Structure formats: C-alpha cells, structure tokens
Amino acid sequence: LPEKYSGTQSYTSDKQDYGIISRDELVEALMDNGMENRQVLSKVMNTLSSQSCLIVDMGENSEHTRIMSNMWQATEHFFAEMNSETKDKVVIPEMGLAEGAGSKFAVIGYREYDDGDMQFLETRLERGPNGKLLPKEIENVIGSEHAQNVEQSTRMMTNIGRDVIRIVTAASLEEDFVEVSKKRISDTETDNDDDEEYQPQSISGLSFLDESKFEPTKEESVEQVTSQAETLGRQRASHAAFSLVRDLVDDGMQISEDEEFMNMSPHRLCRYTSHKTNPKNKRPAEEIFGAHTDTSFVTIVPVAAVSGFETTVDDDGRWIRPEYMARLAWEAERRSKGLDTELNENDLAPPWHCRYVLVLPGEMMQLISRDYVQTCVHRVVAVTGGKSRLSAPVLLRCRPSAKLNVKRYFGGQNQDDDEGGESGTDCGVILRQADGMTMGDIHDALQG
C-alpha cells in the first residue's frame, strides 16, 4: 500500500476503537470541494488492511437501526414458518436460475442443505426505485409489511456498500491521479516557456472535471503547483470513483433502457444450525459454512444476535470475530455512560446488534482497487447443539451489461508495459485483460 495507507493497526482515537466507523462519517465523506475526507478515507483503508472488514455503526436510536430491527423480525418470521409443523403448506419457489438477473450463476428462491442445518432464501428486487421483493411468493409467507421491511433494509445496506466502494476506489486512485496532474502541469509550464501564445491544455485528459480555471504561471511556486496538483488529483480520483460506482455497481436502479429487470445483487436470508454430536470432538463449535470469498464488490452482513461469523487476515489460519468486536464497542460505550452491559437480546428495543453491519471486500473490490484491498476470506461457525444463527447479507454485485472501461475509470494508468511501473502488478494485468468486457462476463469468469 502507499505509505499513507500502510498502517497495520486500525485507525485509533482518544477512546478504544474496534475498527468501527459511523454511518454519518460515510455519508459525509465526500466533501463539498469534490474530494474524499482524508481522515475517513484513511480510517476505512487502514481498517480493511488490518482486519479485512469494516464495522459500520448506524447509531443507537437511528432510523437505520429501526429498519434493521424490522428486517430481523421479518427474517425470524420467515424461518419460523419454514420450520413449523405446517411448513409443508408453505409455497415458496425452490432455488433456481434467476432469469432476468443477467448471469447464469444468479439464483432466486429457497433451498435447504445438510438435513436442514443450512437454510437459504435468495431474494432480489425488481429494478427501479419502487421495485418489489422477489420471489413474490415470500409475501404470502411473511406478509406485506415484513416484505416491505426486507425491501427497505436491502436498499439501506446497498447505500452503505456504495459509499464504501466509492471511498476505497478513490483511495486506490489518488496517488496515481495526483502524479498525473503534477506531470501534466509540469509539461504545460515547459511548453509555455517559448510560446507567448500558449494556451494551457486540459490537465485530466479524461473529461472527469472542468479544469479550465487552473492556469499555472511561471510565477507560481513549486509548493503552489504541488498543492493545486494534489487537489486536482484527489478531485479526479473522487469523480472517477463516483462514476465507477454509478455505472458498474448494481444498486437496483435503472440507468439504461436495456438493463435486466431484476437486480443482480441478492439479499440472502440464512439460518445455520449445528445438530451434529461427536463424543470424540470436544470443541464447542464447528465450521458449518466453509472458508470462502464472494464475487461481489462488497458484502454487507448485519451483525446478528447469535454470533458465528469469522474472518481471517493471517496466513497462519487465525480467525477473528468482528461481531464480537462490535459487542465490545457497544459495551465500552455503555460503560462510559454508566449503563448496564449485561443485557440479553430482548432487553433493549431495538436490540443492541441492530445498529451494526459488517462490510466485507469481495473479489470485484480487489480487482477495481488493484490489490489495494484484498478480498475478505470468511466462514460461519455454529455452537454444537446451540441456538440457530440467522444471517441476512446483501451481496453488492455488478451491473451485468455494463462494460469495464479502464481509461474512463482508471485514467489509463494500466496502459504501461507489464514490466515496470506500479501498473505492472497482477491486478493491473487483469484489469487490462478485462478492459472492454461486460461486468457480467467478468463476474461469471470469477465464479468459474
């Protein structure tokens, strides 16, 4: 990583910090001057580097937390119906190809594995600002109000994911774009020495910003030019990142007439249970969903009432539990206010965990960040014979028909030869190979 993002510890402040960032910080990260807030950007990058996922705090009594609480109630209601004595009367489509999502790997519907130890409902939204939850039969199971709560939570988590993708993309582009701006400013000054009629050329050359107001002169100091180049570079990085998220990330909105009618980004409702018993195995928990990565830009995982989600950032196989870190942060806040920390899930309304979500980088994020951020390896463990774990992640994926344009989003920084230059990395090579491909084809290639 560049030096300014090379910290091995998560961002710290005057109080104990568990790699947690507030929702408000993400919302306000893009400043009025067109640049990302440097403190927020550094906090996001350092945290993703040190613990491979970001914990977002939506606030104790915020509207976002209320939405998440309602989503959990809908999830509980669904799985209660699917595990009731009358479950045979529940009509829900079996998981199969999601025709209209734009990928042969996109699925929708319900399925059970391992004799019911793993249960999944893959939902999606119809495209558009008021798109309904699919499969539509879910409304017959949980009711229209619960279905609307799931829809609302899908959009809310999608917006959180969009902000994180934009911030990471801007961070990965800043250094290159600042250097390009410095070089082009230097070139304009050199050319201007012998040409009194000289008119400064566009600094970006990428149609990202109108830079006509920047006209460096001979009298300007090196410091002034460097400062203005850094400002332009950071603005261009933010603008490129904003464009990439708008064009390539499938948030369910329609940006072209020929787009698929179904959102490519699923909201997956899950239930994990461990019924296995082995007298020779004294471990209190077992891996129920093995270590894997996601072919998403990011996966947004709401912190659950029953923990069991684990991530790893070490080659030695050590695992960390970010949900436990969220709990520690919540308890620290309670103690600072002189409040009780020994509370059960239902002692608060909404429950404590409803205010937190985890944001995990996926394979698409590693690709578009050019390895600045690594994809998060994660798994699910369950207490043997314990309470079932519910989960409800949103996998924020690509717009299948959108095309990757390296020059538009990365400023042509990946046009160097494979040998030499920062773009001579594996991720840079992959970007050049993927240039011009549809995002759907890239997604399917990663899946394969």
In Å, what is the CA distance from 278 to each residue of 249, 274, 275, 370, 385?
44, 11, 10, 45, 11
pLDDT band at 345 (very low <50, low <70, confident <90, very high): low
15-29, 172-186, 295-309: which has the highest mean pLDDT? 295-309
User: Is 397 within 8 Å of 260 (Cβ atoms)?
Assistant: no
End-to-end CA distance of the chain, in Å? 29
Other beta carbons within 10 Å of 288: 21
Average pLDDT over residues 185-194: 56
Task: Indicate the pairing of strand 267-272 with strand 285-292.
Answer: unpaired
Q: What is the pLDDT of residue 182?
A: 79
Q: What is the pLDDT of residue 277?
A: 60
Q: Using CA atoms, how far apart are residues 96 and 265, in angstroms rounded to an integer?
A: 15
SS3 31: coil
Q: What is the pLDDT of residue 276?
A: 66
Of all residues in the chain, the percent with pLDDT exceeding 70 is 81
Give the pLDDT confidence of 248-295 residue by residue, as tens digits.
Answer: 999 999 998 888 899 999 999 999 998 766 555 556 678 888 889 999
Tokens found for residue 76:
């509980």
Tokens found for residue 240:
């490129």
HSE-CB at 271 with a 13 A cutoff on CA atoms is 23
DSSP class of residue 218 equals T
SS3 438: strand
Of all residues in the chain, the percent with pLDDT exceeding 90 is 55
Q: Using CA atoms, how far apart are residues 128 and 428, in angstroms rounded to an integer?
A: 34
User: Is 264 within 8 Å of 103 (Cβ atoms)?
Assistant: yes
415 burial level (CB within 10 Å; 0-12, 13-18, 19+): middle
Report how far Cα 348 is from the mean position of its chain's Cα atoms.
28
Q: Which of 32, 412, 400 is nearest to 247 (CA)?
A: 400
DSSP class of residue 304 equals P
Say yes or no to pLDDT of 10 above 50.
Answer: no
